[in-house]
Amino acid sequence: MPFMNAEFSGRDRWMAKLVLSPTILAATFFIYGFILWTIWLSLTRSTILPSNHFVGLANYYDLFGSSRWWRSLSNLGIFGGLYVVISVGLGLGLAILLDQRVKAERLYQVVFLYPMALSAVVTGVAWRWLLDPGFGIQAIVRSMGFPHFAFAWIDDPDMAIYTVVIAAVWQTTGFMMAIFLAGLRGVSPEIVKAAQIDGASTGRIYLRVILPSLAPTFFVALVLSVGLAIKSFGLIIALTGGGPGYSTNVPSIFMYVFSFQRGEMGVGAASALMMLVIMMIFVLPFLYLDSRRQA
């Protein structure tokens, strides 16, 4: 009875839209509505509180005239680039190692994953101590008989951003490892067997057979790590406070400091929109690829 079925599914289609509607409303208002509000704020002379005094693009001129903002952008480039490459690379490496039928695999998993469970406020303190030349890694290595060993990046405005990379890699590599381990476990054993029968070495099998089949996994890992890089905030605040000076400022810190601490809300809003634009540049190609795969 096709007619009856069609009637029935029509009511269900309506139900599906109804169930989805709260999310549609929430997204429209709480994501796009708020972005529109921020756009408006960035065009006003808002200082310690929002105002409706329209000033055109003045905040954007201030923003791009600020050496601190340019430093924040270049830091994001350095930090984001290194962080994404290292955490994805290291995560993949650890996943491959764990995939070799390792004893105590779950123990290793937990050891690699646990930094995700700790609040950044305090891991920042622990890392600050470790990176401190006076009593951290430098002092420990020196006391082991290498008196000229030097590792004082955290005090060096040109190097401090790399300590942020270390701590951020430490915090989320385990998560990347879990994603890749999952991907590896999802590779069909048949194609691996086939390659083994052809006499390919383990390294070759990974390079030619397994990794190419992990393309969707790379997709997810890259999207998540790029997002984490751009949104990094708490850990940097706890580790370096954005310093020495403003040498480890990134856009998220710049935005927070200007909006809430310095009372330059208009400039802060302008910087937030620039952050969003940067993220879009990274994410849109991913969405395009995804839509192609769906089609």
Partner 1 sequence: MKSMHKKMLAVCIGLAIGGGFSVPAMADSAPSLSVINWWTAGSEAKAMHVLVQMMKAKGVNIQNDAIAGGGGAQARTILKTRLMEGQIPGAAQIKGVEIQQWGHTGLLANIDAAAQAGNWDKNVPAVVNDYMKYKGNYVAAPMDLHRLNWLWYNRAILKKAGISAAPQSWPELMTDLAKVKKAGYIPMAGGGNGWMIATEFDPIALETGGPTWYKDVFVKLDPKAIDSPTMVKALERLRAIEAYTPKSLAGRTWNFDTALVAHGKAAFQIMGDWANGQFEFLHVTPGGPQVGCVAFPGTAKEFIYNVDSFIFFRQNTPAKRAAEIKLAETMVSPKFQLLFNKYKGSIPDLMNVSLNGYNACQKKSRAQFLVARKENGLVPSFSQNMSTYGPPTGAFIDSLDKFYTSNETPQAAAAAMAKRVEVAKSQD
Partner 2 sequence: MRTSSAFGPRRWLIYGLLTVAAVFFLLPFYVMLVTAFKTMPEIYSTGILALPDSLNFSAWIHAWSAATIGAASEGIHGYFLNSFILVIPAVIISTAIGAFNGYILTHWRFRGSNIFFYMLLLGTIIPFQIVLLPMAWVEGRIGIAGTLVPGLMMVHVIYGLAFTTLFFRNYYVGIPHDLIKAARVDGAGFFSIFFRIMLPVSTPIIMVTAIWQFTMIWNNFLFGVVFTQGGQQPVTVAINDLVDTVTSVHMWNVDMAAAIFAALPTLLVYLIAGKYFVRGLTAGAVKG
φ and ψ at residue 44, rounded to 5 degrees:
-115, 165
Choices 52-60, 73-81, 114-122, 204-212 (CB under 8 A): range interacting with partner 2: 114-122
How far, in Å, CA of 192 to CA of 99, rounded?
13
How far, in Å, CA of 230 to CA of 223, rounded?
11
Site for partner 2 in 191-230 (CB under 8 A): 216-217, 219-221, 223, 227, 230
Please choose which of partner 1, partner 2, none residue 217 contacts, taking the beta carbon within 5 to 8 angstroms, the exact cut-off set by kind. Answer: partner 2
Q: Give the number of other CB atoms < 10 A from CB of residue 23.
A: 9
- Nearest-10 Cα torsion for 213, 214, 216, 222: -150
Query: What's at 4, amino acid-wise?
Result: M
Q: Taking a C-beta distance cutoff of 8 angstroms, is the pair 133, 139 a contact? A: yes
Q: Which of 54, 61, 70, 129 is close enough to bind partner 2 by CB under 8 A?
A: 129
**Residue 54, beta-bridge partner list:** 44
Report, in Å, the least distance between residue 42 CB and partner 1. Answer: 14
Establish if 35 lies at the interface with partner 2 (CB under 8 A): yes
Closer CB to partner 2, residue 209 or residue 223? 223
Question: Would you give the end-to-end CA distance of the chain in angstroms?
Answer: 31
- Can you give the binding site for partner 1, defined by CB under 8 A? 21-22, 25-26, 29-30, 33, 37, 40, 47-52, 62, 65-66, 68, 128-129, 131-136, 138-139, 152, 154-157, 237, 241, 243-247, 256-257, 260-264, 267
Q: Which helix or strand (DSSP H or E) is residue 261 part of?
A: none
Q: How many residues bind partner 2 (CB under 8 A)?
A: 98
How far, in Å, CA of 230 to CA of 134, rounded?
31
| Residue recorded with tokens 């069909």 | 188
Report, in Å, the least distance between residue 64 CB and partner 1. Answer: 13
Please choose which of partner 2, partner 1, none residue 229 contacts, taking the beta carbon within 5 to 8 angstroms, the exact cut-off set by kind. Answer: none
Establish if 89 lies at the interface with partner 2 (CB under 8 A): no
Please choose which of partner 2, partner 1, none residue 123 contacts, taking the beta carbon within 5 to 8 angstroms, the exact cut-off set by kind. Answer: partner 2
Q: Which of 69, 127, 151, 206 is close enough to bind partner 2 by CB under 8 A?
A: 127
Q: Which of 55, 86, 113, 152 is close enough to bind partner 2 by CB under 8 A?
A: 113
Of the candidates 282, 265, 272, the one whose C-alpha atom is nearest the C-alpha of residue 53 is: 265
Task: Give the distance from CA 197 to its chain's centroid.
Answer: 40
Please choose which of partner 2, partner 1, none residue 38 contacts, taking the beta carbon within 5 to 8 angstroms, the exact cut-off set by kind. Answer: partner 2
How far, in Å, CA of 177 to CA of 98, rounded?
9
Closer CB to partner 1, residue 93 or residue 241? 241
Establish if 57 lies at the interface with partner 2 (CB under 8 A): no
DSSP 3-state assignment of 157?
A: coil
φ and ψ at residue 197, rounded to 5 degrees:
-65, -35
Closer CB to partner 2, residue 19 or residue 197? 19
Establish if 106 lies at the interface with partner 2 (CB under 8 A): yes
**Residue 47 per-residue DSSP state:** S
Closer CB to partner 2, residue 71 or residue 123? 123
Establish if 53 lies at the interface with partner 2 (CB under 8 A): no
Choices 32-40, 56-64, 72-80, 149-157 (CB under 8 A): range interacting with partner 2: 32-40
Q: Taking a C-beta distance cutoff of 8 angstroms, is the pair 286, 223 a contact? A: yes
Q: Respond yes or no on whether the N-terminal peptide bond of residue 189 is cis (omega within 30° of 0).
A: no
